[in-house]
Amino acid sequence: MLEFRKKLPDVNFVPIVSPLPELDDAAIRNLSTDQKYLYEMCHLISRGNRSLDLAARNPGQLSHARWLTKANRILHLYIGSKCPATNLRTIAEFVVKVYAPVRFDIKRKSSYCDGGRYVFRMIQLSRYLNNELKAVIDPVTKGNAYFYPGDILSFSYHTQAVERCVKFVPEAFNSVVGHHSRDEFICARIHSRTILPRFNTRAEYNS
């Protein structure tokens, strides 16, 4: 279902208004290809104006360990559907109204101290959902938010680092046998990343 279709049907899709934050030129230049695709696609769906260039652009390789690539595929499929299935419409709407706005809020200001604000923002944006869907979303949000001493609310950010850790699990399963061996495999991978040079921005990497 989420496979890339280069030639989408020329249809008038139903716009979904998005509270997407406006990023400045410097922030946009610092986005990865997948992130930029999501940002532009959300703007397109919010305006309701189809872009032939964006519709024909490949949303990137699908990775089951990265929610971003799934979101891109879902939106790509949505703009090519004149009468989208209810589930497709529901997921696309959540991506445009909640997932993407919070993701780019964090991208714009990724301060640890703002974790509580992002949790509240996610709760606030998801209130449009019906009670059945809230019963699914709210426990996940609650599970990702927790209190530290001093009542400082922090948030388990959905970042590329988290996605890498998720990716290590199937790699460990396919490489070694036994819980202890798989735990050592994952810990070794994580440790190897701590000794590599770190760059806060793409500009630092290129310098």
Give kind and range of the element (H or E) at residue 147.
strand 145-148
CA–CA separation, 78 and 13 (whole Å): 7
**10 Å Cβ neighbour count for 177?**
9
Model confidence pLDDT, tens digit, residues 32-60 = 888 998 999 898 888 887 665 666 666 66
| pTM passes above 0.85 | no
Determine, yes or no, domain membership for 201.
no
Mean pLDDT of all residues in 144-149: 51
Query: Is 87 within the bounds of a domain?
Result: yes
Please report the pLDDT score of residue 166 as a whole number. 66
- The pLDDT assigned to 154 comes to 39
Sign (positive or negative) of CA dihedral 168, 174, 180, 184? negative
Q: Are residues 190 and 134 in the same domain?
A: no
Separate counts of helices (H) and strands (E) for the chain: 11, 2
Range with the poorest average pLDDT among 5-9, 68-72, 128-132, 159-163: 5-9
- The reported pLDDT for the residue numbered 128 is 92
In a domain, 77, yes or no: yes
Residue 139's φ and ψ, nearest 5 degrees, are: -60, -35
Q: Count structural domains, the chain.
A: 3
- pLDDT tens, position by position, 101-110: 998 988 887 7
CA torsion angle 102 30 200 190 (round to 10): 70
In a shared domain, residues 21 and 100: yes
Structural domain range at position 140: 111-156
Are 43 and 68 found together in one domain?
A: yes
pLDDT-based confidence at residue 31 (cuts at 50, 70, 90): confident
Q: Mark whether 19 and 100 lie in a shared domain.
A: yes
